[in-house]
A and B are shown apart, each in its own frame.
Chain A
Amino acid sequence: MSRLDTRQKLAILADAAKYDASCASSGAKRRDSLGGKGIGSTEGMGICHAYAPDGRCISLLKILLTNSCIFDCHYCINRRSSNVRRARFTTAEIVDLTLAFYRRNYIEGLFLSSGIIRSSDYTMEQIVEVARSLREDHDFRGYIHLKTIPDADPELIRRAGLYADRLSINVELPTAEGLKRLAPEKDVRRIEGSMETLKGAIDEGKDAKSRFRSAPAFAPAGQSTQMIVGADGANDGAIIARADTLYRTFRLRRVYYSAFSPIPDASAVLPLRRPPLMREHRLYQADWMLRHYGYRVDELAASTDAAGNLPLDVDPKLAWALAHRALFPLDVNRADREQLLRVPGLGVRAVDRLLAARRQRRLRLEDVARLTVSIAKVRPFLIAADWRPTVLADAIDPRTRPAAEARQLELFAA
C-alpha cells in the first residue's frame, strides 16, 4: 500500500468520524491563553465555526486516530470485515493539525476517537498522548473531547480526564439485545461499568475542587454518550426510557441520538433504508422536554403511538397538550411556571419573560405576542386579559384537520 499524505489521511479519518453526532464544545470551564505560552480559550458557550450542507455544525476537529479496528460491529463502517480504506495518524500529526486549524480560527478544539488497534489499553494510551502533548507541550487551552474505550485501564481514563474537557462512551444501541446482535464484542455491562467509573471520578474531581482551589479539574464538561436510532427494533418509548435511566444513573450531560444512516459496504444484518430524520428530531425534542421542561418518562411514553413511537407529524409537546386538553386554556396572568412550560410554543425563555412582565402589567394578547415566537401557535392554549380562545384545541391538531381536497370542478356538471 502506498504511503498516504496527511490530507489523504484526513479525508479518510474525518469521513470515518462523521457518524458521531456530538460536536458540542459547550459546558467547559472558562479558561483563556493569557499569561500562557500557547493559544486557546473556552468561554462556556460553544461556537460553531462552520456548517456543513447537512445542517450540522462544525465546531471541533472530529477525527479518528485510526479507522482500523479489531471489533466487528455491524452498524460501523470501520468494522473488521468492512473493506474501507484504512489509515492511521501519528499522535504528532493530530497535534499539528489541531494547532494549525485552531490558529486560523477554524475550530474550537479536538474531538478524538479511534478504532481499536492491538488492545484497548494501547489505543487509549495513544488517545491520551495526543491530549497530553496538546496540553503540556503546546500549552493548548482550547476544548478537548476524548472518546474513551470501555475496557481501558482506569488509570488511563483518569489521565484522560485530567487533560480533556469532556469524555464520552457510546452505549451504541438502546437495547442490550441489539448490542449483542450488532456489536458482538461489546458488552452493555462493561460500557455501563466504565460510565460508572467516570461518574465517580468526575464527582470526586468536583468534590476536591470545592475544597482545594488547586485541585486538578477532571473532565469539567462532564460525560456524554450516543445511541443509534433505527438500526435495531427499539421504539421511541424504549429509547427515551433508556436515555432517562442514563441521565439519572450516570448524570450524563447529553445523550445524542444518531439516526442510522446507510453506510457504504454495510453489513447485511442492517436495514438498508434510513429511518426518517424527523424521528431523530422528535427524539431530541422529547429529550429536551425531559431535561428542561419537567416532563416524566411515563408522560412522554403516553404520547407515543401503538408501536411505541413518537408521532412524526406533530411535536411531542403538542401531542402531550392535545392529549391533556382538560388542563388548557391557562390564564397567562395567573398560571405558575411549571404549567406555562407545558404550553406548546412557549419555551423556557419566553416563560421567564412572561413571568417578569406580568409583574409590571396585566398581559394582553398583543403583549404575549411580543414575547413569543408564534402567537398563532400558543393562542389556543392561553387566556389573556383581553383574550379567550374560541377555537378548540382540537382544531389546531393537524391530524384532525380535514385535508383540503384538490379537485377540479366540472364545468358542465349537472
Chain B
Amino acid sequence: MRVVSLAEEDDFEGWRDAARALAGARAPATDISWRVGESVVGLFDAASSQPLPPAATFTVPRAFISLAESVICHSDPERFALLYAMLLRLRDRPAALDDAADPLVQRLERLAKAVRRDIHKMHAFLRFREVATPEGPRYVAWFEPDHHIVRAVAGFFVRRFAGMRWSILTPELSLHWDGEILAEGPGAARGDAPSEDPTEEAWSTYYSAIFNPARLSVGAMLKEMPKKYWKNLPETALVSGMIKEARGREAAMVAASAGTDGKMARAKADLGDTEREGLAAADAAERRLEPGGNALAAWEALLAEAKVCTRCHLYKHATQTVFGEGPLDARIMFIGEQPGDQEDLAGRPFVGPAGQLFDRALVEAGVDRARTYVTNAVKHFKFEPRGKRRIHQKPDGREIEACRWWIEQERMLIRPPVIVALGATAGRSLFGRAVTISRMRGEPHVLPDGEAGEAWVTVHPSFLLRVPDADRKREEYRRFVDDLHRIGERARALA
C-alpha cells in the first residue's frame, strides 16, 4: 500500500503531480491511499510513503482537468481515489469521459455538481457587514460552505470587489483583500465577524416590499434558498411573518378593489356587526356619488370596443352593436336575449314592443327603470330577411358564448347585487348551461362563477306578446309583474 500525502484538502496540484506519475507507472487504484496534511501512518500502511515513480507523459482531455478541479473541492474523502481511477481509464480510452451513462463518470459529475452549486450559493448568499477601521471602512463576511471551496471562490470576490477592502471568514480558512493583495489566514469563528450593519434595515425593507403576496410560493423559495443558509442572511428573519400575512394581504387587496379603499377593507376586519353595517351604508352612499372611481371611463372604453366587435359573424348584417345602458351603480341588472328590429335601428336595448311591455310591467311592479341597468345576452340583431321584413331568429350557442365576454365585463364593472335573466337565452348566458325557466323563476340563485350577488330568472317580455289566449296572457303578465316586484323588493333589501 502506497500512501500519498496532499498539502491541503483542495490541493489540486499535489494530486495532479502524484496521480500523473502513478498513472504513468500504471499503479492500480486499489494500491494507493490518499491522505491530507501530515499523515499519521495507519494500521495497515505497512509500506508507507515511497518515492513517486518518474513522471511519464500522456494527455487527458481538458474537460477532465476542469472536472477534477471541481471534484477536488468536495468534502467526500473518496474523491482522490475516484479521480485517480478515472485517470487510469482515460489513459487507455481518452473518450471515456463522454460516456455519461457510466457509473464512475456519473458519480464524479455528481460530486462536481455539488461543488459548483456550493460555489454558486456562496457567491449568492455571502453577506458583507461594514466595520469602521482607522484606514476606512472594511467589509467582513462570515460563511460556512459545505465543501472546500474558499480558495476556488476567492477570484470571484477579488474581481467583483477590487476597489473595496474586505475579509471573508470561514471555519476552515479566511481571506483578506486590501485592494491589491489577497492574503490567507487561519479559520475563524462566527463571533469574529461583526453581528450587524445598519444598511440591513434598508435591505430588509426592500426584501419585504418587493414580495408580491398574491403569488405566494414557499416551495419555490425553499428549493433555491434552503434553510441551512438562513442563519447568515439578514433578510430571512422576516420570512415567516411575510408568509403568514400574505394570504390576508391578498384577500384585503381583492376586497379593496371590490369597491372600498384599502384602508377601509383592512379596518373592517376588526369591527363589530353594527359598525360593519354602518360602514356598508357609507360605502353604498359613496358608490352612488362616485361609482367605482373611473368606472365611467372604463365603461366608455368598453362601449367603444364593443362597437367594433367581430367576435362572431352577426356583426356582418346587423346595423350596429346594441350595448347595455343604465347607471353604473345600478342595483338591478336585466339581461335580455338580443336586440330586435327596432332596437337594432335605434341602437338602444328594450325600445321595441317587448321593451314597451317591459316598461309597463316595471312601473306596475314599482321598479324604476332609470335606476336599473338593461342589457342583452347577444349584442347584435340576428334575423332572416323575408320580403321587406327582418324576422327575428334565436341566437345559437356559439353566438351566446362569443358575446358572454361582454356580459362578464359589464357585470364586473357594475357589480349589481341582483342580476335578472329574462328568458332562456339570457339564462344560458348567465349560467353557462341551458336553464328551465318554469323551474327556476321566483327565487334567488347563486351565480355559477362564485361572484357576489344573486341571480334571478323570469320570462322574456316578448314571450308575453306571443301568448295567443287572452286569459292566459293576462295571467302570465301578472306573474311577470309579481316576479319583478319580488326582485325590486330584494334589491331594496340588499341595499
A interface residues (Cβ-Cβ under 8 A, vs B) = 6-7, 10-12, 14-15, 17-19, 32-41, 43, 47-58, 61-63, 72, 74, 81, 83, 97, 100-101, 103-106, 139, 177, 180-182, 184, 233, 259, 261-274, 277, 353, 356-357, 359-361, 363, 367-368, 370-371
Contacts and interface: CB of A to CB of B under 8 A. Distances in A.
15 contacts: A7-B201, A32-B159, A34-B159, A34-B162, A38-B163, A39-B164, A40-B160, A41-B156, A51-B220, A51-B221, A139-B163, A182-B301, A268-B292, A272-B258, A356-B99
A208 to B, nearest CB: 26
Contacts of B156: 41, 43
Interface of B: 95-96, 98-103, 106, 120, 123-130, 139, 141, 156, 158-164, 197, 199-203, 205-221, 224-225, 233, 235, 239, 242-243, 246, 250, 253-254, 256-258, 261-262, 292-295, 297-299, 301-302, 304-305, 405, 409, 412-413
Given A18-B210, A38-B163, A54-B211, A104 B235 contact: no
A106 B233 CA distance: 10
A360 B95 contact: yes
A390 to B, nearest CB: 23
B160 A356 contact: no
A363 B323 CA distance: 65
A39 B197 contact: no
Contact of A361 (B101, B163, B200): B101
A370 B218 contact: no
A50 B95 contact: no
Nearest to B450: A273
Given A36-B163, A263-B253, A58 B210 contact: yes
Given A43-B156, A267-B294, A19 B203 contact: no
A138 to B, nearest CB: 9
Given A17-B210, A48-B124, A55-B220, A360 B98 contact: yes
A261 B261 contact: no
Given A53-B217, A103-B128, A268-B412, A14 B206 contact: yes
A101 B158 CA distance: 17
Nearest to A14: B209
Contact of B124 (A49, A101, A180): A49
A58 B106 CA distance: 32
A370 B220 contact: no
A184 B298 CA distance: 10
A269 B298 contact: yes
A262 B251 CA distance: 10
Contact of A54 (B213, B233, B262): B213
A340 to B, nearest CB: 14
Contact of A100 (B127, B199, B235, B250): B199
Point out which of B123, B214, B262, B293 has the most chain A C-beta atoms below 10 A from its C-beta: B214
Contacts of A361: 99, 101
Contacts of B130: 103-104
A97 B203 CA distance: 9
A264 B253 contact: yes
B375 to A, nearest CB: 16
A360 B209 contact: no
Contacts of A34: 158-159, 162
A246 B197 CA distance: 45
A136 to B, nearest CB: 15
Contacts of A41: 156, 159-160
A262 B159 contact: no
Given A7-B202, A61-B206, 12 more contacts: A14-B205, A14-B210, A33-B161, A47-B124, A48-B124, A52-B212, A54-B215, A54-B216, A181-B305, A262-B257, A267-B294, A271-B412
B101 A357 contact: yes
B161 A39 contact: yes
A55 B95 contact: no
Contacts of A37: 163
